[in-house]
Every structure is written in C-alpha cells, then in structure tokens.
Amino acid sequence: MGQKVHPIAFRTGVTRGWTSRWYASKKDFADLLVEDRKLRNFITNHPKKTQYKSAGIDRIEIERTRDEVRVMMYVARPGLIIGKKGQEIEILQAELQNLIGRRINLKVEEVGRPELQAQLVALDIAQQLSKRSSFRRTMKRTLETTMDAGAKGIKVQLAGRLGGAEMARREKQIAGSIPLSTLQAKIDYGFTEAMTPQGHIGIQVWINQGTYGDENDGVDAQTGQASKKPKRSHKR
C-alpha cells in the first residue's frame, strides 16, 4: 500500500482542525483563499526581516470576521517577532494590512515543545545542513532529541545532493512507530528545503505525537480501564 498522502490533509476535518477558519460565498471564496496564501508567504518569506526564519514559525492560523482578519502565529521564539516593546509586531501588522487592504488582528503564541513539532524540527535540520553539518550525524541527533522529548516515533527523509555528491539520492531514518494510515494517530508533518552550495536538499519529517484524546485520558485512565476487566475464574 502506498503511503504518499499528505498526513495533515489526510486528517483535516476528521481528527484535526482547519488552519483557515472562515466562510465565504462561491463568488468571494477564491479571492479570500489567495489572500490567505499571500499572508502566509509574506510572513514566512519576509523580504526584509531575516530573523523570522530563525524565530521558528510552526504554523499560521487565519480566522475571518466581517470586520477584520485574525492571524495567529505559533512560534518557537516569539521575542524575535514581537521585538522590543512590541515594535516589530506593529510594523508587521501594518505591512499585512497594506498587503491585502483589510484590518489585521495579529497574535503571536509560543510553542511549548518545539522538539515535537515536525515543521520546527525540519527547519532546525535545514539550518544545520546549511552550515555544512554532516547529514547522517544531524539525522541521528534529531531522532534522539525528539524521542527523548516524549515522541512515540519519528521519521526523517532527506533528498538531494547529500554530502555534496554528484548524484542526488534519498536517505531516511526511523525511530519508534509511525502508523501513517491510522487516523487516530496524531502524526505531525513538516517539509522545508535547505539551501546548500551544491543545491537544494528537501527535508521531510513525520512525528508521532501519540493518539487524539491522550491529553485527557492519559496513562492512568488506560490502566484504570484495564483493571475494571472481569477476572477469569479458573474454578471448575
């Protein structure tokens, strides 16, 4: 069975929420969809603010009301985007308003555990490869760090001219379990490209964060359910 479906798209609307939450008529839908894309591209590939790439932007969620557009950024290092006394975030908010011509309400939230977010892990690998770090050592260190942080499993795949080789190839490493076809499995997926002198290297990361509903049930609830099972009697 092929496992080529995007893990986030596979779960969106079933066990995972949408990153853009708004409703529009058929006439306006396409324009608003392009606006969402413009906002995300402008923030992640800002022409002037190079510190945004090192800030570690995990995801950008967008909500729309009749009056304004709410943009929520989930970032590993929010201080780089907020700036001193919130000056940087005000500049960014004004730039986004000029970009689409609507009122923007911008919020920045910190990601608690960046080692468990696939996009942030992929960005970290890209930074290390850009500094000419060994790709095998980088992959191995990433697997160890993520598993130590409490992940159930992780898979990292690199594609391109690895190690400066003439011929492009793929390399992957897996630790733990990655059940990609199980909808209840909380699989986070991230992709980015590392810019190296030899060319671009594609980086894909899958992280198994457990199952949906684990936050409420926990291990104690599972052991409690197991103890409620009736014991078999061996008497005859």
CB atoms within 10 A of CB 38: 13
Evaluate the CA torsion angle 79, 83, 84, 85 in order and state its sign.
negative
Determine the pLDDT at residue 2. 61
Determine the pLDDT at residue 37. 94
**Which secondary-structure segment (H or E) carries 90?**
helix 87-100
Residues 206 and 201: their CA atoms lie apart, in Å, by 17
Determine the pLDDT at residue 206. 95
pTM of the model: 0.82
Determine the pLDDT at residue 123. 92
Same fold, 18-110 and 114-211: no
Whether the Cβ atoms of residue 208 and residue 178 lie closer than 8 Å to each other: yes
CATH 3.30.230.10 fits 114-211, yes or no: no
Determine the pLDDT at residue 228. 46
Under DSSP, the state recorded for 186 is: E
Determine the pLDDT at residue 163. 87
CATH 1.25.40.20 fits 18-110, yes or no: no
Domain boundary assignment for the chain: 18-110, 114-211
Nearest 10 degrees: CA dihedral of 139, 144, 145, 149?
A: 140
Q: What is the mean pLDDT of each run of 10 residues along the chain (236 residues)?
A: 78 90 93 93 81 84 92 90 85 90 91 90 92 91 92 94 90 92 90 90 94 58 42 49
> Distances from the Cα of 99 to the Cαs of 30, 33, 104, in angstroms?
17, 14, 10
